[in-house]
Structure 1
Amino acid sequence: MNNTTILLADDHRIVREGIARLLESFGDIEIVGQANDGYEAVTLATQLQPDILVLDITMPKLLGVEVISDVRIHSPGTKIIVLSMHHKDKYIKDCMRNGASAYLLKESAVNELKSAIQYVLKDQIYLSPAISRSVVKDWLTPDSNHNGSPLTSREREILKLLAEGYSNKEIASMLFISPKTVETHRHRINDKLNLGNVADLVRYALKEGLISVE
């Protein structure tokens, strides 16, 4: 029987190494790669086509939800297990709606990761029992703006990168769009949120959980 191939994506090296040791202790698991940011996670998933991607949703360069969407396109056979510290319903619902197969809280990963792997390999959904029942009831309820933000997914993606200090040219290169398109999105973000300067932009990104102070 072939080993299950897993790609790890977390911007904290110590966390990645800890998860890798835990996974390898299960047996029949092969860690085929480790990603330090969202952009690298998509790139490696596309190249390696792993059975499973274990993903932290708060990483530099690319939102976790965007990583999920992109991996589902470029590596459709990869099951995605989100491993996160975020308990908020909106994070969980956004991830599941965009194609994740499991959502685990980091605090319970040691006890639940093996079960989650078994579930997703059988094309089943796995959620940490600690997650509220309200998420299960309404994550698939259709609505036009389920994350409560006035911004589109692309605008949130660009806002995150701007808050992380990337220039228009750097963002354009990462997202395969023109610098002019980035500037257009930037103006729309400022208009929608009424942000006066970069400091306001960073504060908003922190409040929305798009970036962290770590």
Structure 2
Amino acid sequence: MGTAATRILIADDHRTFAELLALGLEREPDLEAVGHARTAKEAVSMVETLMPDIVVMDVRLGDGDGIEVTAELTQKYEELCVIILTGHPEQGVVRRAARAGACGFLPKDGALDGMLHALRSARRGSLLLPPEMLEMMAETEPAPSPTSDVPSLSAREQEVLELLASGLTTRTIAHRTGVSVDECRDLLNQVMEKLGAHSQLEAVVNANSYGLIFTNNG
């Protein structure tokens, strides 16, 4: 018997986008669209009823704020991964989403193949951050206070952080740095602790604010 398909709930009040994404998911044997919520109230109710693995959440829903819904859901369901759909985020959206427990972002105008690949690798505590989002973050996120103490990272921790910010998975980072996957997870946890982050996404957001990310994605 094969592995069960990843169950995905789409929370978006744009019917055409949601239906197209659901159609794309139906063609994939390892991904399954379990429902479409158009409002914040529906999203909360459907997560409780359907117990999806992933929620693809628009920033704005018909009756509320998708990031506030994300915070409510991630506090209640420890294993749930919520991915925020976004175009060009307004100031503070990335940081708010990170603090709400989101595991990453997907560009709403991105290619379907890229979206499907991201959904396959998504899990709670992991990072889904397209490289172009770092540039957006630098433009839209508030700068840290001049009095903020910049965390001190070791050379290896800095290397792991920059690879993480480049959008690489834990397994790929481990391979690049020549350590085991378990050792890599330990390094990532150390980075998160030093940056006061509860997720890999929040670690990258905080590191970006401190000016600790020097990746070159070009």
TM-score (norm 1): 0.59
Deviations 1:151-171 (A, max 9, x none): xxxxxxxxxxxxxxxxxxxxx
Deviation at 1:74, TM superposition (A): 2.8
Query: 2: CA distance between counterparts of 1:5 and 1:19?
Result: 13
With 27-36 and 80-89 compared, the bigger mean Cα shift is at 80-89
Distance 1:142 1:78, change over 3 A: farther
Asked if the contact 1:56/1:82 (under 8 Å) is kept, the reply is yes
Distance 1:92 1:109, change over 3 A: farther
* RMSD of aligned residue pairs (Cα, Å): 2.7
Query: 1: CA distance between counterparts of 2:118 and 2:102?
Result: 12
Query: 2: CA distance between counterparts of 1:134 and 1:87?
Result: 8
Asked if the contact 1:8/1:54 (under 8 Å) is kept, the reply is yes
Asked if the contact 2:88/2:136 (under 8 Å) is kept, the reply is no
Gaps of 5+ in 2: 146-218
Say whether 1:27 aligns with 2:29. Answer: yes
Query: 2: CA distance between counterparts of 1:37 and 1:122?
Result: 23
Say whether 1:40 aligns with 2:42. Answer: yes
Map of 1:59 onto structure 2? 61
Q: Name the aligned partner's letter for residue 13 of structure 1.
A: R
Asked if the contact 2:103/2:123 (under 8 Å) is kept, the reply is no
Map of 2:19 onto structure 1? 17
Deviation at 1:121, TM superposition (A): 2.9
Query: 2: CA distance between counterparts of 1:87 and 1:31?
Result: 26
TM-score (norm 2): 0.58
Aligned mate of 1:130, from 85, 109, 132:
132
Distance 1:109 1:77, change over 3 A: farther
In the comparison of the two structures, how many residue pairs are matched? 143
Asked if the contact 1:104/1:112 (under 8 Å) is kept, the reply is no
Map of 2:5 onto structure 1? 3
Query: 2: CA distance between counterparts of 1:142 and 1:75?
Result: 31
